[in-house]
Amino acid sequence: MASIEMWSEAKIALGRELNNHPKILEEIEAADVDDYPNLLATVAAHFNIVMEGYYSHLQLDILADKLYHKLVASRSGLKTPLIGIPL
């Protein structure tokens, strides 16, 4: 029996934005990332953000949204803080 996984808007947006960042894609490939939390950790590490502990699906979506905005800002040369909404 097949299972269906619904992807959040944050997860989809992050995936699309990552296509604009070949260096991070290389880091993800080099780290042999095989699941979503590790993908987020690899992107976070690119920005010197340390992830530690266990995260709920909601917390991962919040983090994905914040990382998406960091990626967009880095591509456009803007600086945005990651702080604001606690995980």
Does some domain include residue 60?
A: yes
pLDDT in tens, 4-36: 667 889 999 999 999 999 999 999 999 888 898
The domain containing residue 70 runs over which residues? 9-76
Could you give the number of structural domains in the chain? 1
Does some domain include residue 23?
A: yes
User: Does residue 79 sit in helix, strand or coil?
Assistant: coil
Does some domain include residue 2?
A: no
Does some domain include residue 82?
A: no
pTM exceeding 0.85: no
pLDDT in tens, 37-74: 999 999 999 999 988 889 998 999 999 999 999 999 88
Residue 43: other Cβ atoms inside 10 A:
26
d(Cα 65, Cα 17) in Å, to the nearest integer? Answer: 11
| pLDDT in the model for residue 65 | 95
